[in-house]
Amino acid sequence: SESGNTYYRVVLIGEHGVGKSTLASIFAGVPDSLDKNTYERTLMVDGESATLILIDIASFEKASELRIQLRRARQTEDIPIILVGNKSDLVRCREVSISEGRACAVVFDCKFIETSAAVQHNVKELFEGIVRQVRLRRDSK
Ligand code: GDP
Ligand code: MG
pLDDT score, position 3: 60
Q: Is the pLDDT confidence value at 19 over 50?
A: yes
> Taking a C-beta distance cutoff of 8 angstroms, is the pair 36, 26 a contact?
no
The percentage of the chain sitting over the pLDDT mark of 90, rounded to a whole number, equals 66
Closest CA to 7 of 110, 131, 128: 131
- Residue 1, pLDDT above cutoff 50: no
Q: How many angstroms separate the alpha carbon of residue 86 from the centre of ligand 1?
A: 8
Lowest mean pLDDT among 43-52, 77-86, 88-97: 77-86
Residue whose CA lies nearest to ligand 1 atom number 19: 19
Closest C-alpha residue for ligand 1 atom 22: 87
Residue 68's pLDDT band (cuts 50, 70, 90): confident
The pair phi, psi for residue 12, each rounded to 5°, is -95, 115
Contact 115, 86 (CB under 8 A): yes
Q: Which atom of ligand 1 is nearest to the CA of 121?
A: 23
Q: Quick check: CB of 129 below 6 Å from ligand 1? A: no
